[in-house]
């Protein structure tokens, strides 16, 4: 997985994604939902 040219400044890999509400990274037991448009992640 690599960033697109226009996303070099704000790209975050799937392994480092974090919840935009609580700030915690995802764990194997609690997956994050990711918005297809803005790519923000949230715990379900």
User: Sign of dihedral through CA atoms 32, 24, 3, 37?
Assistant: positive
What is the residue extent of each domain of the chain? 1-44
35 CA to centre of own chain: 9
Q: What is the per-residue DSSP string for 15-30?
A: GG-BBTTT-PBP-SSS
Query: Residues in the chain with pLDDT < 70?
Result: 1, 26-29
Distance, CA of 8 to CA of 26 (rounded, Å):
22
pLDDT of 29: 61
């Amino acid at each position: 997985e690599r960033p697109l040219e226009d996303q070099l400044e704000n790209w975050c890999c799937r392994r480092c994604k974090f919840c935009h509400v609580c700030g915690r990274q995802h764990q194997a037991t609690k997956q994050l939902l990711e918005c297809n448009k803005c790519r923000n992640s949230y715990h379900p």
